[in-house]
Amino acid sequence: METLKKYLKEKNIKTSLEGETREDVYLELLTLLEKGNEIQNKDSILKSIIEWDKVVDSHRGKSVVIVRLPLDTQKKIALTIGVKKEGLDEEVFDRERTKIFVIIITPETGNEEYINLVSEISSLLNQGSIREDILDEKDQEKVVKILLGQ
């Protein structure tokens, strides 16, 4: 979990997403990254993510969405995670409400680190007990501890 440990930040986790659509949720999460100066131009990034979502569905099943957007202007990986306990009411292949959202903004080069990060996150979020622990948690620090196995 070394790659996850490197990029997972408490300030980039939101345990009570308010949005009613994926676009709203993505905007909430990108705002966290923008506040931390980890991305530039969140509105442009949001448009790119929405367009990407039309081509490649980011829904991974088991109520999880993982979005990755490579940008030539991005200097280093930026990671944000959000939780909407009641989930979004949207048409997805497994009919489970989408509850956990992960956005990863990456430079266009350096895919190895991104692949490691997605592998670590996917492995964790495939475990029902970890998903449930995250959904039950209100404190960002505790979400970090859950994901890092502490």
Whether the pLDDT of residue 142 is over 90: the answer is: yes
Question: Which residue matches tokens 């995250």?
Answer: 134
Q: Which pLDDT score is estimated for 94?
A: 61
Whether the pLDDT of residue 54 is over 90: the answer is: no
Burial class for 107, CB neighbours closer than 10 Å (0-12, 13-18, 19+): middle
Whether 1 and 121 have beta carbons less than 8 Å apart is answered as no
Whether the pLDDT of residue 60 is over 80: the answer is: no
Annotated domain spans of the chain: 2-145
Mean pLDDT value across the chain: 91
Asked which of 30-34, 106-110, 138-142 is least confident by mean pLDDT, the reply is 106-110
105-121 mean pLDDT: 89
Whether the pLDDT of residue 92 is over 70: the answer is: no
Alpha-carbon gap, residue 143 to 14, rounded angstroms: 10
Nearest to 12 by CA among 144, 148, 147, 145: 144
Per-residue pLDDT of 32-51, as tens digits, reads: 999 999 999 999 999 999 99
Whether the pLDDT of residue 59 is over 70: the answer is: no
Whether the pLDDT of residue 99 is over 80: the answer is: yes
Whether the pLDDT of residue 143 is over 80: the answer is: yes
Whether the pLDDT of residue 85 is over 90: the answer is: yes
CATH number of the domain located at residue range(s) 2-145 in this protein: 3.40.930.10
Phi/psi at 8 (5° precision): -80, 120
Whether the pLDDT of residue 146 is over 80: the answer is: yes
Q: Which pLDDT score is estimated for 1?
A: 78
